[in-house]
Amino acid sequence: QLQLAESGGGSVQAGGSLSLSCVASGRTGSSYCMGWYRQAPGKEREGVAAIDYDGAANYADSVKGRFIISRDNAKNTLYLQMGSLKPEDSATYYCVARHGWCPVLSDYDPPGPDFAYRGQGTQVTVSS
């Protein structure tokens, strides 16, 4: 089993930046695909970004050029740097993981591909 714990959410004005972190614990020895999903009230879940163990990343079209996903395998930590934030980025952001290589998120309509593990989520609110 893998446990995921997010931190770093908060409130920011449109155009601002926020960073999220996710620490993995438990069976961290495997090469997991890790990523971020988000879900806003009344909307379907949306895959935001995903990154393979070797650092290869892919993004949803809605965040390309604004968000950067990264990971530090030695620290079992996943990051998401969010810039040029928009009110429509407001959502609960979840850290997720799955075995094997990452799916290409832009190939999927919401709710996106399934991930076996998910954290409790952290709230991001962007005001206009």
What are the beta bridge partners of residue 82?
18, 67
Token digits of residue 59? 């993004």
**Per-residue confidence (pLDDT) for residue 89, from 0 to 100:** 98
Task: Give yes or no for a contact between 80 and 89, defined as CB atoms under 8 angstroms apart.
Answer: no
Low-confidence ranges of the chain (pLDDT < 70): none
What are the beta bridge partners of residue 71?
78
Beta strands 10-13; 122-127: pairing state: parallel
**Per-residue confidence (pLDDT) for residue 127, from 0 to 100:** 97
Segment 81-108, tens digit of pLDDT: 999 999 999 999 999 999 999 999 999 9
